[in-house]
Amino acid sequence: MQVLKEMLKKLLEEESHIKSIVATGSSLEEALQNACNELGIGINELDYEIIEYGNKGMFGLGKKDFKIKVYKAKDEQEIFDNLLNVDYVQEEEEFVIKPEVINKDSEAFVRVTSRGVLLKVTHPVGKGKRINEKKVFDAIYSRGVQNFDNNKVNKIIRESSGEYCRIGEMPLNVANDSTATVQISSDEMKAYIILTPPRPGGYDLEIDEIKSILNNNGVVIGIKDDMLNNIMDYPLYNEPVLVAEGIKVQDGRNAVIHYNFKTNKDEVHFEEEDGKVNFKELNIVQNVVAGQILATKEPATDGEPGRTVTNKLIPPRNGKDVNLLAGRNAKVTEDGKSVVAEINGQVYLMGGKIVVDPVYTIQGDVSLKTGNILFLGTVVIQGNVEDGFSVKAAGNIEVHGSVGKCELDAEGDIIVNGGVMGKNEGILTSGKSIYAKFIESVKIDANEGVYVQDGILHSFIDATKEIVCVGKRGAIVGGRLRAGEMVKTKTLGSIANPETVIEVGIDPKKRQLLLEQEEKREKAYKELEPVKANLENLKHQKQVMKALPQEKEELFIELQSKVNELEGLINEANEEIKSIEDYLSQLKSKGKVIASKKAFPGVKIYIKNAFLGLKTEYKKVAFVLQAGEVNTLPYEEEEVKRKK
């Protein structure tokens, strides 16, 4: 608003300083030239008003000069135009005036109608020029108009209101009037009008007259008023002009099903990690959970009728419906608008039906072709699991081939028909039990048991219940095995004496936590010793010097804080260790280790807190806890016991 006020102020100042003169001449051009000479400017820089019209007279009698009032054109016009052509944009609670650059000269329009002779002069826009008065009079004379009011014409030019005003009249000459004919397209969706120009003395058609002609020809819908208004100022003669369009019919939209999963199973989407594509994460399996919305239907819509320019009804086509189809383990909601999963599993489209399968079957190997597998159900692998890949399942994992240096993680059982060659990096985790032909160099955690046919070599295994290896060549060699109840095998250790550690009668997870707390405590003790020594040294200096320098005082405070922190960690570890030891001592499971064929020297056996290191070879032996010690008992095969 402040900018607006300043612009108005400038306009008033300019207007008050306009200098005008009165000039005369035998013609309008001569009067204007005289004014130019007096003001010392060009004719294009003048504005003028005609005070008296001149007359050439006859034979020198009655001659009269033109008398005009002339003044130098100032910038007030441009200022007004800028005020009329601005966009007011609100930014941060302030109004900013943004000029819109539109430049257009003023124009004059003359219409001869039954209401009289009409004149319209538009205002120039932007840097457009005011119309020359001569052009206005030429436009009037070109229509053969003689009887008009000069003063009114001058007023219309000055005001330039852009409205038609009556300046005179013309005698009626119906034969020379403008005419109009109507053309309608074959589909009756468009109507055109063809105007003929008025001949001298003829009238122009007015909007109401054109509308009446359209109505008489049956055109009543979609008449374009803006086009008719444009014709009034810029008539186009002897050419068809589109003046009406029908209302187009709007057909209904067919029902659409929006699937919340990929329906093209062949699509592969790679994931990026740190700007690099991870070719193992192909996201082929589409997991869903029970109750998840799998698809929704957008209902069909009714169409909207159309109308021709002659007001004929055009019936629409309504959209077609489509049914949501649910297959196994999926259901359609009562309103028929959605499909939801009934179980956890993978979702896919089969024969147009949405199916949720609790089992995901891989026909070949888990490799670059399949990528890593993550599935909320059971995974069945017909081939192998190649090195470097992972399979994670909310159900079971069943591998018909072998497993390499991989990660298998199942909430249910893990079943490997072949062997597992972990190469010291393979990890198997099961919420239930693990079954395999053989296991070598693997880390295993089973919530129940581990059952192996041929052998367990150099592996680290934790099983809450038992570890059993009793096939034809059943042997446990190397590594560390922990079980809550029992470890059973044919051969324990080997003649090469690799370190083989067996722990039973404990909770493996608690046992692992105990080891971690002991390591944590040991690490804290090692850190504490030098810190205490430095702190004692500073304490001694403080006693001698009474006060330490600022730098050493800050170090003293820092060391004291570190001592408190480490002692706190040690106390926490001690409490946790005691708690775990109390828990382990109260376990009802006694624990047993069985070597039904042979146990070699070098094997270390822990039953609860008791320890026995084998120094000799044992045959058909069972190791049990008696009187707080690990003792041996002869072992008899189950078949022999049953016969007895």
The pLDDT, as a whole number, for residue 588 is 63
The pLDDT, as a whole number, for residue 7 is 57
**pLDDT classification of 283: cutoffs 50, 70, 90:** low
Mean pLDDT (the chain, rounded):
84
Which phi and psi angles does 427 have, rounded to 5°?
-135, 130
Q: pLDDT for 178-232, tens place per residue?
A: 999 999 999 999 999 999 998 877 889 999 999 999 999 999 999 999 999 999 8
Q: 248-252, 308-312, 369-373 — which is least confidently predicted?
A: 369-373
Task: Put the strands of the sheet holding 116-121 in their side by side order.
Answer: 108-113, 116-121, 165-168
Q: pLDDT for 521-560, tens place per residue?
A: 999 999 999 988 888 888 888 777 777 788 888 888 888 8
Vertex 400 angle, CA 398 and 402, to 5°: 100
Which residue type is seen at 49? E
Strand locations in 382-533 (E)? 390-393, 397-399, 407-410, 414-416, 420-430, 434-446, 449-463, 466-469, 475-483, 486-492, 500-504
The pLDDT, as a whole number, for residue 213 is 95
Q: pLDDT for 478-504, tens place per residue?
A: 999 999 899 999 999 999 889 999 999
Q: pLDDT for 299-345, tens place per residue?
A: 999 999 999 999 999 999 999 999 999 999 999 999 989 999 999 98
Query: What is the pLDDT averaged over residues 276-301?
Result: 79
The pLDDT, as a whole number, for residue 551 is 85
Q: Would residue 375 be called left, alpha or beta, if left means φ above 0 and alpha means ψ between -120 and 50 degrees?
A: beta
Residue/partner pairs of 534-538 with CB below 8 Å, 24 or more apart: 534/559, 535/559, 535/560, 535/563
**pLDDT classification of 169: cutoffs 50, 70, 90:** confident
Q: pLDDT for 604-626, tens place per residue?
A: 999 987 899 999 999 999 999 98
The pLDDT, as a whole number, for residue 256 is 94
pLDDT: is 585 or 231 the higher one? 231
The pLDDT, as a whole number, for residue 176 is 86
The pLDDT, as a whole number, for residue 72 is 67
pLDDT: is 562 or 52 the higher one? 562
**pLDDT classification of 88: cutoffs 50, 70, 90:** very low
The pLDDT, as a whole number, for residue 493 is 95
Highest mean pLDDT among 158-162, 199-203, 430-434, 532-536: 430-434
| Structure tokens belonging to residue 144 | 């053969």
Q: pLDDT for 51-87, tens place per residue?
A: 776 666 544 455 677 777 777 655 444 444 444 444 4
| Structure tokens belonging to residue 121 | 């002069």
Question: What share of the chain has pLDDT > 90, as a percent?
Answer: 49
Q: Print burial letters for 228-262: b (CB count within 10 Å at least 16), e (below 16).
A: beebbeebeeeeebebbbbbebeeeeebebeeeeb
CA 292 to chain centre: 21
The secondary structure of residue 105, as a DSSP letter, is -
Nearest to 121 by CA among 149, 153, 90: 153
At residue 477, does pLDDT exceed 60?
A: yes
Question: Largest Cα–Cα distance of the chain, in whole Å?
Answer: 164
Would the pTM of this model clear 0.85, i.e. be above it? no
Which residue type is seen at 368? L
The pLDDT, as a whole number, for residue 90 is 45
| Structure tokens belonging to residue 139 | 């436009």
Which residue type is seen at 280? K
At residue 602, does pLDDT exceed 80?
A: yes
The pLDDT, as a whole number, for residue 611 is 92
Highest mean pLDDT among 30-34, 42-46, 341-345: 341-345
The pLDDT, as a whole number, for residue 4 is 54
At residue 93, does pLDDT exceed 50?
A: no
Query: What is the pLDDT averaged over residues 248-256?
Result: 94
Residue 202 exposure: Cα atoms within 13 Å on the Cβ side: 13
**pLDDT classification of 97: cutoffs 50, 70, 90:** very low
The pLDDT, as a whole number, for residue 42 is 66
At residue 267, does pLDDT exceed 90?
A: no
Q: What is the spatial distance between Cα 447 and Cα 238, in angstroms, rounded to a whole number?
A: 94
**pLDDT classification of 3: cutoffs 50, 70, 90:** low
| Structure tokens belonging to residue 108 | 């004059």
At residue 279, does pLDDT exceed 60?
A: no
Query: What is the pLDDT averaged over residues 558-574?
Result: 91
The pLDDT, as a whole number, for residue 30 is 78
At residue 143, does pLDDT exceed 90?
A: no
Query: What is the pLDDT averaged over residues 377-391?
Result: 94
Q: What is the spatial distance between Cα 613 and Cα 609, in angstroms, rounded to a whole number?
A: 13
